[in-house]
Structure formats: structure tokens, C-alpha cells
Amino acid sequence: MEEHATIAKLLSNAGQQIDALVGKSVVVKVGGSTLGSHDTAIEDIVTLSKLGIKVALVHGGGSAISTWLQTVGKKPQFIDGLRVTDAETMEIVLMVLAGKVNKELVASLNKLGGRAVGVSGLDGGLIKARQINEDLGLVGEITAMDLSLLDSFFALGYIPVVAPVGVGDRGESLNINADTAAAEVAVALKAESIFFLTDVVGICDHDKTLLPRLTMSQTQGLIATGVITAGMIPKAQACFRALDGVNGAHIIDGRGAHALLRELLTDQYAGTTIVR
Ligand SMILES: Nc1ncnc2c1ncn2[C@@H]1O[C@H](COP(=O)(O)OP(=O)(O)OP(=O)(O)O)[C@@H](O)[C@H]1O
Ligand SMILES: [Mg+2]
């Protein structure tokens, strides 16, 4: 009840911000790890969609994929935050990411009154990709996007939920980092902004303090000096890519209550904003 009042107040004070966003698109990326029971991202996305804002949700699923790999006796392996993907891992990625994780997100959005529809990058040729290198195996970099499917969904009032799998030249499925896919979706959609919801407060310095605002070159420096590591590397690089076409790229803590609504509709910025 109290929470209901909080949202109502937030919305009633944000008339101007909402008007400016109606009919525009916003991309939200959620990580597998943040999707816990206290998460309000799903609720926020439904709220934004009902206001007439076109929200595309792109999801990861790192922890669920690792769990299933371990169930079949395979050890998850990463190079600079990217999952090394052999043929067997790719099968699990497809089953878990385009299957379980995608459908559970769709179900959660619909349960809260949203109209969500789940697709992978294979559907409608949404994401075309090519293999990055031999060492990573079936990991793709995006070569082209076909937004027809997403445009149709938006026109019908649906919230598209995208599993980051791409199709290669020979029709093979390629595993794509979800942050990378989200950035490409944002650029292709000419989205207003992109939000990466993750399980930390934002990008932190070597002494663990939050860095609220970073330029691209400062962020490059943090990667070079090893302050930014692992899954934060593709996320930072995805922000760089998103800034080719999008005004704001934000990495925020998805665990906070209504982090997304606050970020988008108030001037209470949390997390890290990366600027050109
Ligand atoms: N400088 C840094 N500041 C904050 N987090 C960092 C930094 N360097 C590395 N990290 C790590 O990056 C992680 C976030 O990326 P990660 O890929 O694990 O999650 P995600 O992208 O939200 O989820 P998924 O990969 O499932 O989509 C943090 O949990 C943290 O361990
Ligand atoms: Mg990640």
C-alpha cells in the first residue's frame, strides 16, 4: 500500500518528464543475477509501457546458464567477461536464455498487467551476427539488425522481451553478450536512453566508491588499469556503442526499489552515467 503511494506520488510529480517520453523508446537491459524477489524492474517496465513509452527489454541470463551448465557437468568459462561457448554450451544458452529466462520474464510482465511478447534475435532475423574469434567459440558480434518485428510489436502495444542470440551467415545460432545486444537495439531504435540494471551500485573505483559520472575516455582508463573487470567490461563497452545514437547510457543498481522509474522520471540519479 505504502509502495503504491510512493509510485503514485512519483508519477504525479513527473508529468513533464512523462510527456517528453510518450511515444519514444527506451531500452532496459536486465542481468540474470538481478532478477530476484525484491526486484521492481518488471513492475516499473509495465508502468512505463502503460504510460505510452515504448520499452524494449533485453535480458542476460548468466547465472541461470552457469547453473544449467554445471548440472550437465560443464564448467563455465569466461574471457574478458564473455562466455566461451562450444556447441554444447550453445544448446544450453538457447534452451535457458531463449527458453526459460525469456518466458519467465514474459510471464512476470504479463502477470503484472503488461502485454509482453518474447523473442530471440533469431526471430524475424532481428539480430545477424558473425563469430568474433576461435577462442570464444560460438560467440557473435552483431553485424546487422532488422527491427521490423520490434516495430510491429510496439505498434500493437506490446513490450518486446529480447533474448540475445544472433544468427550467423550459415544459419547457425551465436551467443551474444546481452549488454552488447541491448546497445545495438538502442542505437537501431534511436532510443532516448538505455539503462543497464545490474547487481552492483554502478561502476566503482579501486576503493569501491561509486563513480556517478564518467566520460568514455575515463572509462577506457579504468578498463586499462584493471579497475573495471569481468562482466563490467562488455557493459562499459556497450555504453560506448549506445552513445553513438542514444542520449543517455546509465548503469544502475537493479536491486533498489523502483530504480528505473526514479532514474527515468526524477532527477534522483543513482548509479553511473557514461557520457561521450
Ligand atoms: N569497477 C567495477 N565496478 C563495479 N562492478 C564491477 C567492476 N568491475 C567488475 N565488476 C563486476 O561486474 C559485475 C556486473 O556484470 P555481470 O556481467 O556479472 O552482471 P550483469 O551483466 O548484470 O548480468 P548478466 O551477465 O547475467 O546479464 C558486478 O557484479 C561486478 O562483480
Ligand atoms: Mg553481464
Structural domain contains residue 15: no
Structural domain contains residue 175: yes
Domain CATH for 74: 3.40.1160.10
Structural domain contains residue 6: no
Structural domain contains residue 165: yes
Q: Per residue in 5-40, pLDDT tens? A: 888 888 999 999 999 999 999 999 998 665 654 578
Question: How far is the C-alpha of 102 from the C-alpha of 106, rounded, in Å?
Answer: 6
Q: Per residue in 247-275, pLDDT tens? A: 889 999 988 888 899 989 987 778 999 99
Structural domain contains residue 4: no
Cβ < 6 Å from ligand 1: which residues? 31-34, 60-63, 178-179, 198-200, 203-204, 227-232, 235
pTM of the model: 0.95
Grid coordinates 543497464 are at which residue? 196
> How many structural domains are present in the chain?
1
Q: Is the pLDDT of residue 176 over 70?
A: yes
* Ligand 1 atom with minimal separation from the 205 CA: 1
Structural domain contains residue 162: yes
Q: Per residue in 62-80, pLDDT tens? A: 789 999 999 999 999 999 8
249-to-88, 98, 196, 227, 269 alpha-carbon distances in Å: 34, 25, 8, 19, 12
Structural domain contains residue 259: yes
Active-site annotation holds for 32: yes
Q: Output the CA 18–ligand 2 centroid distance in Å.
A: 29
Structural domain contains residue 1: no
Range of the domain at 214: 22-275
Question: How far is the C-alpha of 120 from the C-alpha of 164, rounded, in Å?
Answer: 6
